[in-house]
Structure 1
């Protein structure tokens, strides 16, 4: 495909951005936050780099999102601490 027929929707970067949005969307739905991100979308910038736009969110939604991230980080840390050398449970 040459530059004259290039379409951003057929680029690897577009599909990566779209897949990332789908994964994030699924997590937001599971957390009950799907209606809090009405502007969530995949996009490409002028250089063809994939981007994810979250849009504006309320302070309450930001607090809920921060708490979800904190909980995930704490779970990961607890899992790492409970694993012995090489990631094996002692």
Structure 2
């Protein structure tokens, strides 16, 4: 019979023991790097990795100003346009 020290206990669960935590942390780091490159990192002071009650990884952007939301929307729009332009140039012409 395992001793009390060897038996896993839900009370000793840590988010640092889960793949979901590391995936969320990596995604938050990646997003922070892109926001820094776009000059908007200071607009997201509460950006962080998190887990919900079920242990699913989440990225918390925090509260942002309307101007920051507009700038983020513009960055996404431009990224989508670049992606569409790249798709057009890759298609063979008939």
**TM-score scaled to structure 1, two decimals?**
0.88
SS of 2:74's equivalent in the other structure is: helix
CA-to-partner distance for each residue in 1:42-88, whole Å, 9 max, x for gaps? 00011000000001111110111000000000000000011125xxx
**TM-score scaled to structure 2, two decimals?**
0.85
Structure with larger Rg: 2
How far, CA to CA, are the matches of 1:78 and 1:62 in structure 2?
Answer: 24
Question: How big is the alpha-carbon RMSD for the aligned residues of Structure 1 and Structure 2?
Answer: 1.9
The alignment of Structure 1 onto Structure 2 pairs a total of residues equal to 87
How far, CA to CA, are the matches of 1:6 and 1:58 in structure 2?
Answer: 36
Deviation at 1:3, TM superposition (A): 4.3
Is residue 39 of structure 2 the alignment partner of residue 32 of structure 1?
yes
CA-to-partner distance for each residue in 1:2-42, whole Å, 9 max, x for gaps? 34343111200000000000000000000010110011000
Q: 2:66 maps to which residue?
A: 59
Structure 1 runs (4+) greater than 3 angstroms displaced: 1-5
